[in-house]
Amino acid sequence: MTRIGFACALAASLAIPASAQGDVSPESRELHERLLVLDTHLDIPSRFDSGEWDFSERHRYEWDGTQVDMPRMIEGGLDGGFFVIYTSQGALTPEGYREARDRALVRAAAIRRVIGENREHMSLALTADDIERLHREGRRIALISMENSWPLGEYLSLLTTFHRLGLRMAGPEHSRTNQLADSTTGEATWNGLSPLGRQWVAEMNRLGIIIDGSHSSDAVIDQMLELSRAPIVLSHHGPRALYDHRRNTTDERMRRVAAAGGVMFMNTLFLGATDNSDARSALERRQERWASLNPAERRRLLADIAAQDARTPRTAITFDMFMASLLHAVRVMGVDHVGLGADWDGGGGTQGMEDVSLLPRITARLRREGFSEADIAKIMGGNLVRVMRQVQRAAARG
């Protein structure tokens, strides 16, 4: 980080109320600012398409439900991460594929637009070397991923199109089984990858795009490990040993991902109970329209959120629960195979770490647990750079 970049980040951190900084000492904050800090699952691009939501302005989670913007990235020492092209699963038909393709291209264009609008502070990274260079320059780092490859339809040549737009990580499906693979929360149609899904793995390897097993069934992850010529990742995942949920995975499978050189990036979801009621979903839809609400509508929304929180907190997951899961993953997989993938703006966050401005709490806690600076650096971003470089080298070897 340049002196100017560090000074700006430090000034931003000093502007945060002491109560929000929690248990972060000046020494931990200084270390956090020096480290490369990356997250593999930033779902905020769902706000970008209309052009009405300004990424350069500081927002508040309590107001509009968002967790990532440029000011909060600076406050939280988040250097960057993967901005997600997400499409909710629809019909497995030619019409469905065309609609998904068009929506995904709009989302990719919106991400590129927002990067351009913030070019004084942020740049697109296409390689591991780009990430390290941008960090040295004190710039924020934008990478692009795809959650759910349904938009590719039955023509994997579209992967090349998205790769040219900057795509460097993708998972085959989301919450429902599709033409490529079984979802962990969907039907076991293929008993793993479909024949097209197996071709998808080979094409991902050829292009040097990181394969993401989050949302994939256990059988899909196992087959990815068997077929891939490069390490795979779990971009926003958790340990099933601490919370028995299908979106989490077993210690045995975590060890297999690590043995293949992969990384599990720690989620903040599926580590405990969350409020998924219709009432909560309705409030979240209203929050998404925050920019268009008048003052009276905003006051009414905030009052309704407070009332719902009083009845049922949005999440029962605490920062300590998140850290327990992260530390468990390190014990099982080793410090070279764990990172951060909190699912920000996709339902993530915990009590005590509601948005990215509070990420320094992780560094502070790891220091208190006795981790060395070198090992903390691996978890915060180094492991992502390493696996990205391995994937791209495997592609270059052919």
What pLDDT, on a 0 to 100 scale, did the predictor assign at position 18? 40
pLDDT band per the 50, 70, 90 thresholds, residue 12: very low
Domain 3-274+315-397, architecture per CATH: Alpha-Beta Barrel (3.20)
Residue 20 in this model has a pLDDT that exceeds 60: no
Kindly report the backbone phi and psi dihedral angles of residue 216, in degrees, each rounded to the nearest multiple of 5, phi listed first: -85, 150
Give the residue carrying structure tokens 């605490």: 318
Provide the 10 A C-beta neighbour count for residue 295.
7
| Annotated domain spans of the chain | 3-274+315-397
* Contacts by 370-376, CB closer than 8 A, 24 or more apart: 371/335, 373/31, 375/335, 376/31, 376/35
pLDDT (tens digit per residue) in 237-248: 999 999 999 999
| Torsion sign over Cα 18, 319, 333, 204 | negative
Residue 68 in this model has a pLDDT that exceeds 70: yes
Rg of the chain over CA atoms, in angstroms?
Answer: 20
Of 3 and 118, the structure prediction assigns the larger pLDDT to 118
pLDDT (tens digit per residue) in 307-323: 998 899 888 999 999 99
What residues contact residue 162 under an 8 Å CB cut-off, 6+ apart?
Answer: 85, 104, 108, 146, 152, 170
Q: How far is CA 25 from the centre of its chain?
A: 26
What residues contact residue 330 under an 8 Å CB cut-off, 6+ apart?
Answer: 338, 379
Answer whether 79's CB lies under 8 Å from 141's CB.
yes
Q: CA–CA separation, 398 vs 141, rounded Å?
A: 28
